Copies of this chain bind each other. A is one copy, B any other.
Amino acid sequence: MTTTLAARAEALDAADPLASLRERFLLPDGVTYLDGNSLGALPAAVPPAITDAVQRQWGTDLIRSWNDNGWWDAPLRVGDTIGQLIGAAPGQVVAGDSTSVQLFNALTAAARMRPGRTLLLTDPDHFPTDQYIADSVGRILGLTVRRVPVRELAAVLAAEGEQVAVAAYGPVDYRTGELQDMAALTAAAHRAGALMLWDLCHAAGALPVQVDAVGADLAVGCGYKYLSGGPGAPAFIYVAERHQSQFDHAITGWHGHAEPFAMRGSYEPAAGVARARIGTQPMLSMLALEAALTAFDGVDLQQLRAKSLSLTGFFLECADDLLDGLGFTAVTPREPDRRGSQVSLRHEHAYPLTQALIERGFIGDMRAPDLLRFGFNALYVTHRDVHASVAALRDITVSGEYTAERFNARAAVT
């Protein structure tokens, strides 16, 4: 059966129209990387871009680079490039800061666009920072933050939606990889007169998000997962064009001013999405992200999605076969339209199993208490990677290799 799966992996890779995109990444020897949902691999375009940014732009051109090398416009330029990956027409996305900071601005602005409404809805299974920031904004602006599981969101919006200012959710569950129907939930929010804020951290670059088409009001996301922008790469914020003139956010940094170099003492927001700029951005990280995004040049996102589903589907197929009876449960939905680009397996020994896999060169990660998480960036992951990873997981489990002492010391993993 393993032979059959190996042969299938080979055949699937041979027929992959996107196979050559792997050459756009510098993947280390001996590593099978299934953690691009946490930190994307290094795109080949990045090292020369960063050398140029450091040595020529900073070292030689110095302060002049703000104009001459386009540093000043970078957040808008990179924002528009990200916009292409999330279905946003130009002029609606700014790159910069962290997801936490962008969430803070997005939520304060959203609440102020719905004065008099007292509820902020978010997911009790949302990534922690989304919940913490929602609580903080609720406290500051006097909103009640109610945690409503995403599967109940439409019903709550239908029943009590007239009190909801904004619903803040993610289309892909960071633990299970379950994908939500963004269009349906956005429509449910709008029927209630509420705004919909999407956190696209686990969606941008992984699948063809369509923020404009689904009518999203606001969105945020990070640059370092499927966008492969590097560790802690700048995040982004999307403000739908129709809301920009009312976007009244909290962190009013000088880069968002209508005339930043007039050095006025009072804030007057810039026209358009530029008002969502905050302070001076970490330009080396920004330019690394910009170079990284060229890995998507010419890529058909529908083809990318098809390959992603082929990878995750094949992973589930391999797991069904090779891990049967070994204590694993797939928690990621089997229906393709309910899957993001990751697969999570529940196992009581998730932590040492993940560590043992890493020692063998198969890098996924885990989320407490018991989920092994495998992310599939279809730009560089192959079906052979999938098969080899599941086969290794079987070996490690059957042999008991994972029970070794060295795999059981806990440490931070992001």
Contacts and interface: CB of A to CB of B under 8 A. Distances in A.
A329 interface: no
Interface of A: 26, 28, 31, 33, 35, 38-39, 41-42, 46-47, 50-51, 54-55, 57-60, 62-67, 71-72, 97-101, 104, 108, 124, 127-129, 131-133, 135-136, 140-141, 147, 222, 224, 230-235, 250-254, 257, 260-267, 278-286, 288, 358, 363, 365, 367-368, 411-414
A129 B266 CA distance: 9
Given A33-B62, A108-B140, A260-B412, 15 more contacts: A47-B59, A66-B231, A98-B281, A104-B251, A124-B265, A136-B251, A140-B140, A140-B141, A224-B280, A230-B283, A231-B280, A232-B282, A232-B286, A261-B368, A282-B285
Contact of A132 (B33, B55, B257, B413): B257
Nearest to A50: B54
B67 A413 contact: yes
Contacts of A100: 251-254, 278-279
Contacts of A263: 127-128, 367-368
5 contacts: A100-B278, A101-B278, A136-B250, A232-B284, A282-B286
Identical subunits present:
2
A114 to B, nearest CB: 16
Contacts of A42: 54-55, 58-59
